[in-house]
Amino acid sequence: MSRILVVDDNEINIQLLQFELDNEGHTTVAARSGREALSLLRQGATFDLILLDLYMPLMSGIEVLRALKADPLLATLPVIMVTASDLDDSMIEALDMGADDYVTKPFSFRVLAARMRTSLRLREVQEKLRATNRHLNMLATTDALTSLTNRRSFMQQSDREVVRSIRHQQGLVMAIIDVDHFKRVNDCYGHAAGDKVLISLAKELKGQVRECDILGRIGGEEFAICMPQTETEQAVIAVERLREAVESMEIDIGGQVLSITLSIGLSQLHGSDLNLIEIMREADLALYQAKNEGRNRCSI
Ligand code: GH3
Ligand code: MG
Ligand code: MG
Ligand code: MG
């Protein structure tokens, strides 16, 4: 069943609740003060629901509730207030602060149990919704083939970095990477082999970039790296290393091994007011130049 934290300053109330909750098959833990409850929770004890007495000396139920709601790790825990009277502004305050429900002493345990079930059900639905949201967000920002950041998310993240770099007058370098003659890979070995190559390449790129770089697949066989806090000389070194690493890759496409090369265009933020689109356009022009100069190279 569920793990319930009972917070009450009154020993008799605690024993009564523990008796009934144990009978229902729940596991209960008691805290005799607000401080004790908060310290249990902050030490990482996990509960499905809290029964929180409103009137306690030193720290009232309202104060405990306020502390819970202010802590991102504890804010979603369901709380049912236990109070001596429902004709009380504190009860309204507690509900407005995010308490799920309340019961008035002396309460019928069957009613409390039903209200607990409602709170737990609600929380379960909320958790499912949150998990679905996380999953949808992941799908919306990830490229399905390579698991890299997709174009839209890459642009969003890079835009933030460009704005930040301008504000702090820091260097930023953008690299656009394009596989040379990739059409030939598809034509000679088939589209599935082409996909395998892209997956291997994505893995290699991921292994090459720094933690703070943003790497994305921005087109079919086009990738980009946004490098914040980076000067051009550093970026050239990094990108050359990456280009050479890819050049020496032996990509197994099932029985056969093949190699690819990359052309890379670089552009830099001049500490001026270039926006992301302009930076991308400059990198694209540099890429075009790298292709024209014979491919398998990097150009600025
Ligand atoms: P260049 O050196 O000028 O870049 O030549 P290229 O052949 O790489 O350039 P082009 O843009 O003509 O061809 C890109 C090819 O990439 C064409 C397209 O079929 C292939 N492609 C794009 N996305 C995918 C994909 O997801 N999987 C596979 N297998 N191929 C893809
Ligand atoms: Mg009390
Ligand atoms: Mg291309
Ligand atoms: Mg290409």
Tell me what pLDDT residue 255 has.
Answer: 87
- Determine contact, residues 67/97, Cβ cutoff 8 Å: no
Q: Residue 1: pLDDT band by 50, 70, 90 thresholds?
A: confident
The span from the CA of 9 to the CA of 4, in Å, is: 16
pLDDT attached to residue 113: 93
Stretch 162-179: mean pLDDT: 95
Instruction: Give me the phi and psi of 251, to 5 degrees please.
Output: -95, 120
> Which residue type is seen at 120?
L
Q: Where are the alpha helices (DSSP H) in 24-168?
A: 34-42, 61-70, 89-96, 109-141, 151-167
What the block records as the tokens of 131 is 């998990």
Question: Is the bond preceding 57 in cis, omega lying within 30 degrees of 0?
Answer: no
262: β partners: 179
Residue having the nearest C-alpha atom to atom 31 of ligand 1: 220
Please identify, by atom number, the ligand 1 atom nearest to the C-alpha of residue 182.
8
The distance of Cα 299 from the centroid of its chain, to the nearest Å, equals 35
Cα distance between residue 10 and residue 165, in whole Å = 58
The answer to whether the CB of 182 is under 6 A from ligand 1 is: yes
User: Across the chain, what does the average pLDDT equal?
Assistant: 95
Sign of CA dihedral 133, 139, 141, 142: positive
Protein residues placing their CB within 5 Å of the ion ligand 3: 178, 222
Ligand 3 centroid from CA 180, angstroms: 8
Which of 9-13, 64-68, 90-94, 147-151 shows the lowest mean pLDDT across its residues?
90-94
Using the predicted structure, report yes or no on whether residue 63 has a pLDDT greater than 90: yes
Nearest by Cα to 276 from 171, 195, 155, 170: 155
Nearest to 280 by CA among 192, 229, 214: 214
| Model confidence at 16: pLDDT above 70 | yes
Give the integer Cα–Cα distance in Å for 88 and 82: 12
Q: In the 8-state DSSP scheme, what is residue 212?
A: T
Residue 271 has pLDDT above 90, yes or no: no
**Both tokens assigned to 104:** 């008035």
pTM: 0.80
Give the residue-averaged pLDDT of 72-89: 89
What proportion of the chain, given as a percentage, has pLDDT over 90? 92
Distance 69 CA to ligand 2 centre (A): 21
Strand order in the sheet with 172-179: 214-217, 222-228, 172-179, 262-268, 298-299
For residue 186, the model assigns a pLDDT of: 97
- Judged by DSSP in three states, 190 sits in coil
pLDDT tier for residue 136 given thresholds of 50, 70 and 90: very high
Tell how far the Cα of 66 is from the centroid of ligand 3, in angstroms. 55
If you average pLDDT over residues 133-147, what whole number do you get?
97
Asked whether this complex has an ipTM greater than 0.90, the answer is: yes
Please check the confidence at residue 237 and state whether its pLDDT lies above 70.
Answer: yes
Residues near 191 by beta carbon (within 8 Å), at least 6 away in sequence: none
CB atoms within 10 A of CB 225: 27
b (16+ CB within 10 A) / e for 183-203:
eebbeebeeebbebbbebbbe
For residue 217, what are the β-bridge partners?
223
Determine whether the shortest distance from the Cβ of 179 to ligand 1 is under 6 A. yes
262-268 and 298-299 strand pairing = parallel
Tokens of 154: 């890459």
State if residue 228 touches ligand 1 by the CB under 6 angstroms criterion: no
**Beta strand 3-7 pairing with 49-53:** parallel
Most distant CA atoms of the chain, gap in Å: 86
Reported confidence tier of residue 111, pLDDT bands at 50, 70, 90: very high
pLDDT band at 270 (very low <50, low <70, confident <90, very high): confident
pLDDT (mean) for 40-55: 95
For the segment 197-211, what is each residue's pLDDT rounded down to a tens digit?
Answer: 999 999 999 999 999
- Comparing 87 with 300, the larger pLDDT belongs to 300
Assign 20 a pLDDT band (cuts: 50, 70, 90). very high
Closest CA to 189 of 262, 256, 261, 263: 256
Q: Say whether 124 is catalytic.
A: no
Q: Is 291 in the pocket of ligand 1 (CB under 6 A)?
A: yes
For residue 107, the model assigns a pLDDT of 86
